[in-house]
A and B are shown apart, each in its own frame.
Chain A
Amino acid sequence: MTALTLALRNLSIWHPRNIGALAGIMIAVASLVALIGLARGVQESLASALVNRGTDALVTEAGAFDLISSILMEETAMALAKQPGVTAVAPELSRLTTLRDGRSVAVTAWPVGTFPWDSLKVTDGRLPATGDGQVAVIGQSLATRAGFAVGDRIELFHTEFQVVGLVTAQSVLGRSLVYAALPVVQELTFRDGQVTSVGLQLDKDQSAETLTQLRDGFPALNIEATADLSDSYFFGQIARVLALTISTVAMLSAVLVIFTTMSTAVNARRGELAILSAIGWPRQRIVASLLIEGAVLSAIAGVLGILGGALGAQVVTALPSITGYIAPVIGPVLLVQAFLVSMAVGLLGTVIPALRATARAPADILRSR
């Protein structure tokens, strides 16, 4: 009997030890995938909303705590529109308000006809038109959760709006916002002539130079490429730190759990290892057999853990409190990383106790039994 066949036969019976090791590794890998996926989802939520809107750069007040607390004069958008390399501008006012049912929503307002409206795909009704008054369109996810349909009335800023359209957007966040025309929201929030940010579309061939020139020309403004934006504001920084912290903790937890699980499983079998030595199996063949077991177990548990983690992250993001705002970011790189962690730590957790156990005189183990 070879090391391979012994390993496979040992795995073929559902010994509680094997099930325990499988479950331990699986849970560790699932936690790793789910936590990192969610943390990255938080981090990328804002950035993807802006990128999918077609915004190349965003202009805010220098030193602003976050996007909503920034205050700019709307004329700034006109001045920016005249700069070389700027192909389109979209002044934006973003505010939070509370619906009648106590639910908080974010309202985003642009002048009718500006480019961000083009990123919204109307699924029912229409977009606001000039002179419509107090009308709003609602992101499809929010509409589904809150039960809004075209023709309904929605209270925003203590004022009734008519829902004229439902829209969907590429970003998860974009599907959970309320959209309205800029002048209407400015008036209701006492922000006449003010906006929170200005979205820019730039000439692609010279966007880097344009950004440099804009920063030189408007030193009182914060001008960031959209791709870098999530790192520039408080909540983006929090998301980044959280993602890093959670990833590190999840990774270390996974490593410790897998290592402990595999070490315990090998230690529980010291008697079997001793008897293999007693019947003449060379040490390297015993270790090889254990390594094969560890590798197969880690691979199976890794795959199951990845599937479980991806599923778990989806379940978490379906919770009412966060649904529609975050989508877990679980890409192929994370999956490969999780699988490699599972395999590497599983093998490490096997080889160290295997070498230790087989280094002892068989009599030590047989006698202590």
Chain B
Amino acid sequence: MREALAISARGLRCTFRQGQVRALDGVDIDVPAGAAVAITGPSGSGKTTLIHALAGLQPVEAGDIDIAGGTPETAQDWTALRRSQIGMVFQEDWLLPALTAAQNVEIALGENGLSAAERRQRALALLARVNASDFADYRPAGLSGGERQRIAVARSLANSPAILMADEPTGELDSANAERIIDLLFGLHAAEGLTLLIVTHDADLAARCQAQFVMRDGRGAYVDAGVPA
């Protein structure tokens, strides 16, 4: 019996510069629920475009995506999905400079029926999970890159997503902070059964995942036989 899939995409195509650059050239990918998958490959191979497409941040010209039990079609469908099922972490933290760490987490909670006090409580709890409680009331400008990225991870968890997508989350961090972030992501994956999809150049990080999906020239394939292709 096949494992339940968190993501199943077929025939993804996406081009840039009026079709001159084929970022995705018919990519098929299945990601089992609860798996940790690394998307690797050389620069310009389409890794980031693939993860953006799987999160609905990048429209595709062709292909189908089933994700978190649904088939989003419109921009509104994708927005709702990112609000409830998908958490995103980027290479840059993308924290809003006007907000404190706690508010940057709260903002991802949106207007989901929680009171202001409940939202604050939830944000503080998430910051505690990423060991960032000490700077809940600091603005991003006063924090280090590693601290900001931990807050970004807390933000990605705000709505208890089933899938966490990370696009080179350690790309701008020193090795010590990178290690902390990686441990944090895999800890969350293990503790909560999150499906983890990580774009990375880091071979060590990729090796910690259950499978590697290697991209090259807009095409991709699994190299680990343990994961369905």
Contacts and interface: CB of A to CB of B under 8 A. Distances in A.
B205 to A, nearest CB: 21
Interface string A356-369: 00000111101101
Interface stretch (A242-250, A280-288, A342-350): A280-288
Interface of A: 1-2, 6, 9-10, 12-13, 15, 271-272, 274-283, 285, 361-364, 366-367, 369
B110 interface: yes
A276 B103 CA distance: 13
A9 B98 contact: yes
Nearest to A359: B75
Interface string B71-82: 000011001111
Given A1-B107, A274-B57, A279-B155, 20 more contacts: A6-B99, A9-B99, A13-B97, A13-B98, A272-B94, A272-B96, A274-B94, A275-B94, A275-B96, A278-B55, A278-B88, A278-B90, A279-B156, A280-B79, A282-B79, A283-B75, A362-B52, A363-B48, A363-B52, A363-B58
A352 B146 CA distance: 36
Contacts of A362: 52, 57
B88 A282 contact: no
B106 A280 contact: no
Contacts, number: 87
Interface of B: 48-49, 52-53, 55, 57-59, 75-76, 79-84, 88, 90, 92, 94, 96-99, 103, 106-111, 119, 139, 155-156, 158-159
B99 to A, nearest CB: 6
A369 B171 CA distance: 14
Contacts of B79: 277, 280-283
B52 to A, nearest CB: 4
A361 B83 contact: no
Contact of A280 (B48, B103, B110): B110
Nearest to A367: B48
A12 B110 contact: no
Nearest to B119: A1
Contacts of A13: 97-98, 139
A6 B107 contact: yes
B103 A1 contact: yes
Contact of B98 (A10, A275, A280, A367): A10
B109 A1 contact: yes
Given A1-B103, A2-B111, A363-B58, A278 B82 contact: yes
Nearest to B75: A283
A15 B103 CA distance: 18
20 contacts: A1-B107, A1-B110, A1-B111, A9-B103, A10-B98, A12-B98, A13-B139, A277-B57, A278-B55, A278-B82, A278-B94, A279-B88, A279-B156, A279-B158, A282-B76, A285-B111, A363-B53, A366-B94, A367-B49, A369-B92
Contacts of A361: 57-59
Contacts of A276: 107
B72 to A, nearest CB: 12
A15 B159 CA distance: 30
B85 to A, nearest CB: 9
Nearest to B76: A282
A9 B159 CA distance: 22
